[in-house]
Amino acid sequence: MHRSSPSSSTVAQPTPEQLARVHHLLLEWYAHEQRPLPWRATSDPYAILVSEIMLQQTQVERVIPKYHEFLSRFPTVADLAAAPTAAVISTWVPLGYNQRAVRLQAIARQVVSDYQGRIPDSVEELLKLKGIGRYTAGAIACFAYHRQVATVDTNIRRVLHRLFIGLEHPEPRLSDAETLTLAEQVLPPGRAYEWNQALMDLGAMICTSASPQCERCPVGEACAAYRELSAQSLFPSGTVLRTLRKVAEKKSGYQAQPFTQSDRYFRGRIVALLRTLPPEQRLSLAELGPRIKSSYTEADLPWLQRLVSRLAHDGLVDYQEEEGVRLP
């Protein structure tokens, strides 16, 4: 069923006084509590690109050591573009979502071929790089080139929604386009870098999805979601929000699939296994199946064929039906 959303013109706008208060509180908090992340110590657009791709669906703690290792192995965009794809994938492991490594190298090769090795500095040009979306384009323009642009990742989306719109459960009230419009409207003049980083830190450290620590929030007094929680409980907190979320998920029939039964899990196992083989060695699907899934039977062959075919389509493996599969 299509969900109708309010247009950006009908979304309640904070007053100038409210917005000034939020800007002051959040930027003051960030000045003292910001995370000391290595990609914040550089303006190198290539290093920031690497960090942004790695941070997609991977926790900061897991990214930091791999970020240093990857840049040590491929210190420039030209080095990454010229490297064998198998070496890029091997260096990427075990971050997961290995397709990101292939996509990152494809971006590097496009930068070398189309932009003389210089990563573009505008959102418009960055979006011409295949595999870069609006968030990553905005992040590079803002964090590397200090452009005054808004950008929206998962943390920023959640924080902006809770701050200015209200609770996002059972479903968000803003579409992607409306959220970006809101982000642009509340951007503090001349402070885009600190503001975007502050929103991400607040979402990662305090205003988390499952366990928000409302009692520690520096902008709680100005938060629309906190006001909603206050109307439903004398003691508004993350516990109340978790309860509301569970009720919404139960009503929707949502059930999370165990990770070890997911295609993503088995995709990772295939790539990890192939990395242990000598170069150029292939495995047939009959050999591969039992080595990645202990309960594998012949009935699983169509599933394995689909899995390997998708990996090949993503550039993560070289699959020949008659010869088997290996790393590219």
CB 324 within 8 A of CB 287: yes
For 139, counting Cβ atoms within 10 Å of its Cβ (0-12 exposed, 13-18 middle, 19+ buried), the class is buried
Task: Locate 217 and state its tokens.
Answer: 């929030």
Q: Choosing from 17, 28, 33, 52, which is the catalytic residue? A: 52
Q: How far apart are CA 260 and CA 238, in angstroms?
A: 29
Contacts of 311 (CB under 8 A, 6+ apart): 267, 270, 271, 317, 319, 325
Residue 308: alpha-carbon gap to chain centroid: 24
CA gap 218, 220 in Å, rounded: 6
Structure tokens at 99: 């397709």
d(CA 264, CA 158): 25
52 is catalytic: yes
Give the active site residues. 52
